[in-house]
Amino acid sequence: MPTSESIFDKIADTDTVGSRIFRVRDASGIPAGKIAKTLGVRKSTIDAWENDRSVPRAHHLVRIAGMVGVSPSWLLGGVGEAPGLDGVSEEVRVIRKQLGGIRLLFEQTASAIDNMESALARLEKKEVSQS
């Protein structure tokens, strides 16, 4: 009895959508700014997707998949194979995921610093006007 293997017979990639976007974009050498321009979104939107702060809509996922040469099903759910990533070890994947987390913390810290500087400026202005 002939058997045929399908994409569902393989173990799905358990990374997040954002991590998969980052991995294939990085592996393909396409800068986030170029993808953003092609999709008509801001680079910060690509950064948010890659850091799992938001998820791209389906039409953006399909276009990204086409740009980097992977299937939309892999990009969205990790089902199937990611071309060009076969040689990437689990250790590299873990480190990339950790790097994504550190980037997110960096951005959150920068935002907190901006908010504190704004609050400090408002307080200083208020004190000067009261004197």
Residue 83: which domain range?
Answer: 7-130
Q: What is the CATH number of the domain that holds 63?
A: 1.10.260.40
Q: What is the pLDDT of residues 12-61, one digit of tens each?
A: 566 788 988 998 888 888 889 999 999 999 999 999 999 999 999 999 99
Question: Is residue 2 in some structural domain?
Answer: no
Question: Which long-range contacts does 48-55 make (Cβ < 8 Å, 24+ apart)?
Answer: 49/17, 49/18, 49/21, 50/18, 50/19, 50/21, 50/22, 50/25, 50/100, 51/18, 51/100, 51/103, 51/104, 51/107, 52/16, 52/17, 52/18, 52/19, 52/100, 52/104, 53/18, 53/104, 55/17, 55/18
Overall number of domains in the chain: 1
pLDDT, tens digit (0-9, with 9 covering 90-100), for 57-83 = 999 999 998 888 888 888 888 777 666
Answer yes or no: is 110 within a domain.
Answer: yes
